[in-house]
Amino acid sequence: MTTTTPNAARAGLPRGIWVLGFVSMLMDISSEMIHALLPVYLVTVLGASTLTVGFIEGIAEATASITKIFSGALSDWLGRRKLLAALGYGLAALTKPLFPLAPSVGWLVAARFIDRVGKGIRGAPRDALIADIAPPGLRGASFGLRQSLDTIGAFVGPLAAIGLMWWTADNFAAVFWVAVLPAFLSFGLIAMAVSEPAPDAARELTKNPLNTAAMRQLGPVYWRVVAIGAVFTLARFSEAFLILRAQNIGLNAMWVPAVLVLMNIAYALSAYPAGALSDRINRTALLALGLVFLAMADLALALLPNLAGLALGVALWGLHMGLTQGLLAALVADAAPPHLRGTAFGYFNLFTGLALLAASVIAGALWDAYGPAGTFFAGLGFALVSLVGLLAIGKRLAEDRN
């Protein structure tokens, strides 16, 4: 169990944690303005199937996850994090204009792919940088704060998309163009306002962070955390299916982004308190509660095909995210050796990204074959199986950490 020391609690969170949180927030405003509308744009404007949406979303996130393993290892090899994180944010900003310019599904796939490469380049080095900056007793709070600020962007973006869709009479391209601005502001902030800690002279550098010796150095506790993360992700497919569920029950295209607004409000309000609480109690107990919320969300979305059921399911989905995502990152930081933190976050995101690809493709296929209820009932089943697995693995994890 990780506890907050009195000195760390009095000192508060370092400035760099706040700045990285605002960097994430601005990029998420940009990304979610686009992603809140993209599934509907693909289906209604470009004529794509829901299976295609599931494949695009899954392959996009898997691309980001595969890229993270290499950027994370490179940050360990260099002993530096900021350069790679800034490069990833810059690439994502440069790809944003491709979304309004794309004339076909193929172009959108390419734009989404390159955008996720940028996410992959920045993800593991940024998380390792947070772990480097954060006091050990405030890791849960630090990752929770970044997640909360990131998620504020994730509901401000859809809110902006709603307003712009109303103002432009459902002009998708105009909304996509406005989304370019916060992306470039995000890049400017990390380039100018984030200071990386000076390298520790005694810190060990790894010549090849991706070899089997380095994998063994990560240790059994770390690999159990990876197993927990992969199992969780199998139970959680892309949020694109929440948007498609809203369209399925008859929500107007202008209001579809409200789904992500509600989900991310619940996410943002719960992520920091959950992270701070996890510094004081067993993290796996909160993870189990998060899976319970996911199971309840799937049940509501499967059985209640109306606005009230949609709102309930989406809010529970957001609470599940708040209780799990920052905590999993804190567990990785707890378990990984300091000189392999970038690699550790890279492997973690690789395996969870592959799980998300599988989950999203399965969800799309089930939707096409059995409708939305089939997709969400399958999600319920995966969530319950994951809960059983977490209770078994989590007990062993707690024993290893003591």
Cβ-contact 389, 231 below 8 angstroms: yes
CA distance 163 to 170: 10
- pLDDT of 205 higher than 60: no
CA distance 143 to 286: 15
In a domain, 7, yes or no: no
Alpha helices in 134-257 (DSSP H): 139-167, 172-178, 180-193, 212-234, 240-248
Of 356, 359, 334, 357, residue with least CA distance to 345: 334
What is the structure's pLDDT at 2? 39
Q: Angle, nearest 10°, between helix axes 50-78 and 82-95?
A: 150
Domain hosting 355: range is 13-194+214-401
What is the structure's pLDDT at 141? 83
What is the structure's pLDDT at 232? 79
- pLDDT of 58 higher than 70: no
Q: Angle, nearest 10°, between helix axes 240-248 and 50-78?
A: 160
Read off the tokens for 200. Answer: 């520790």
CA distance 348 to 336: 11
Of 190, 234, 226, 205, residue with least CA distance to 363: 234
In this prediction, residue 177 has a pLDDT band, given cuts at 50, 70 and 90, of very high
% of the chain residues with pLDDT over 70: 89
Tally of domains in the chain: 1
- pLDDT of 38 higher than 60: yes
In a domain, 205, yes or no: no
From residue 295, alpha-carbon distances to 211, 247, 262, 301, 383 in Å are 38, 22, 18, 10, 6
CA distance 372 to 362: 12
- pLDDT of 356 higher than 90: no
CA distance 199 to 10: 25
Which one has a higher pLDDT value, 255 or 201? Answer: 255
Q: What is the mean pLDDT of residues 343-368?
A: 82
What is the structure's pLDDT at 200? 59
What is the structure's pLDDT at 65? 67
DSSP character for 65?
H
CATH of the domain at 297: 1.20.1250.20
In a domain, 82, yes or no: yes
CA distance 119 to 65: 9
Q: What is the mean pLDDT of the chain?
A: 80
- For 127, phi and psi rounded to 5 degrees? -65, -40
What is the structure's pLDDT at 22? 93
- Mapped onto helix, strand or coil, the DSSP state of residue 88 is helix
What is the structure's pLDDT at 70? 81
| Per-residue b or e along 40-56, where b marks 16 or more CB atoms closer than 10 Å to that residue's CB | bbbbeeeebebbbbbbb
- pLDDT of 183 higher than 80: yes
Q: What is the mean pLDDT of residues 84-92?
A: 91
- pLDDT of 29 higher than 90: yes
Interval 231-280: pLDDT, tens: 778 778 777 788 888 888 887 777 877 887 888 889 888 888 888 887 78
Cβ-contact 233, 356 below 8 angstroms: yes
Judged by average pLDDT, the poorest of 42-51, 96-105, 282-291 is: 42-51
What is the structure's pLDDT at 187? 94
Cβ-contact 176, 47 below 8 angstroms: no
| Residue 29: count of CB within 10 angstroms of its CB | 26
In a domain, 202, yes or no: no
In this prediction, residue 339 has a pLDDT band, given cuts at 50, 70 and 90, of confident
Cβ-contact 186, 32 below 8 angstroms: no
In this prediction, residue 7 has a pLDDT band, given cuts at 50, 70 and 90, of very low
Which one has a higher pLDDT value, 304 or 399? Answer: 304
Q: What is the mean pLDDT of residues 325-344?
A: 82
- pLDDT of 377 higher than 80: yes
- Rounded to the nearest 5 degrees, what angle is found at the Cα of 347, between the Cα atoms of 365 and 353? 15
- pLDDT of 4 higher than 50: no
In this prediction, residue 11 has a pLDDT band, given cuts at 50, 70 and 90, of very low
- pLDDT of 6 higher than 50: no
What is the structure's pLDDT at 8? 40
What is the structure's pLDDT at 42? 75
In a domain, 206, yes or no: no
AA letter at 95: T
Predicted TM-score (pTM) of this structure: 0.70
- pLDDT of 3 higher than 50: no
